Amino acid sequence: MTRPVRLAISTCPNDTFAFHGLLTGAVDRRGLRFEIELLDIEQLNAGLLRGAFDICKASFAAALTVAHDVVVLPSGSALGFGVGPLLLAAVPGTAPSRPEQLTLCPGRHTTATLLFGLFHPHSTRVEQVVFSAIMPRLQARQADFGVCIHEGRFTWRQQGLTLVEDLGTRWETATGCPLPLGGIVARRGLPAETIATVQAVIHDSLRLALADRAAVLPTMRAHAQEHDDAVLFQHVDLYVNQWTLDLGPVGRRALDELSARAATVGVGSGGRLDVFST
């Protein structure tokens, strides 16, 4: 490509960890020029849907809505066991059950919102807000429930909130698959050689970060909502795993399962997410 590759990722620690080498120039960019943006996940999803990026991190639920236009890269995904969003309550002993109740979700096209719709359909009103606003609004009793993602998974107890359900655990019980939250997708219109090169750079960046975790801390701190180093590495340990390096057959099966279940609630066209083959 003669123009820069428009790349967008999230500000969450697992992405800034994985992309540290690319963000800082510590890995060989293999002749590519990048224009990189760091955004909230719902901003990423919106950008994906309007075609704003060549390569981006996106919720798999959002990618399903444009599955015919994108391909998932083998590296860079967030999926696993024990990684799901948490359904939290402002008041102990309550659960979503009445239409006058309000649940906050972190964006219409997030996989977290899809899971709430799968497991608690039509149980409450739903309002979409930026993920960082969910726990403060629950603390202020401005909503009854919230679907919590990112660092909040580790800090909700300190906020005085109550766990209703781990939506990831429910997914695992129902499917036997790791939960696919989000991944790196590329526009199918990009040259295959460019996509393969970007995939190689991301793989290199991940390996660099895994080899020297301490060197990545300044990059994670610069963008995180939570600045406690232990919490940042909890986040990395949860979301960066063998399937982040390569989805493999287990990751591909999980994407197929998500595609099928999403179609039952009208998310996506019923098509499957294809993984790029290098």
Choosing among 3.20.20.70, 3.40.190.10, 3.40.50.880, 3.90.1150.10, the CATH entry for 86-175 is 3.40.190.10
Q: At 44, which amino acid appears?
A: L
Closest to 87 measured CA to CA, from 63, 115, 127, 121: 115
Let me know if the fold of 5-79+180-264 is the same as that of 86-175.
Answer: yes
Q: What would the DSSP string read from start to end of 61-93? A: HHHHHTTTTEEE-SSS-EEETT---EEEESSTT
Residues 232-267 have pLDDT tens digits of 888 899 889 999 999 999 999 999 999 999 998 888
Fold classification of 5-79+180-264 (topology level): D-Maltodextrin-Binding Protein; domain 2 (3.40.190)
Half-sphere exposure of 147 (CA within 13 A, CB side): 29
Residue 17: phi and psi, rounded to 5, are -65, -55
Packed helices 248-264 and 111-119: angle between N→C axes, nearest 10 degrees: 60
Q: Which residues are CB-contacts of 22 (< 8 A; sequence separation ≥ 6)? A: 7, 29, 34, 36, 201, 202, 205
Query: What per-residue confidence (pLDDT) applies to 176?
Result: 96
Query: What per-residue confidence (pLDDT) applies to 226?
Result: 66
Residue 71 · residue 195 · CB < 8 Å: yes
Check 20, 120, 150, 203 and give the catalytic one: 150
What is the tally of helices (H) and strands (E) in the chain?
A: 13, 11
- CA distances to 51, 129, 191 from 187, rounded to whole Å, are 8, 27, 9
Show me where the domains of the chain are located: 5-79+180-264, 86-175
CA separation for the pair 95, 251 (Å, rounded): 31
Place of tokens 């009854």: 144
pLDDT beneath 70: ranges in the chain:
1, 151, 226-227, 269-270
CA separation for the pair 27, 87 (Å, rounded): 38
Of all residues in the chain, the percent with pLDDT exceeding 90 is: 78
pTM: 0.88
CA separation for the pair 55, 199 (Å, rounded): 10
Q: Is 150 a catalytic residue?
A: yes
Residues 50-80 have pLDDT tens digits of 999 999 999 999 999 999 999 999 999 999 9
Residue 63 · residue 186 · CB < 8 Å: no
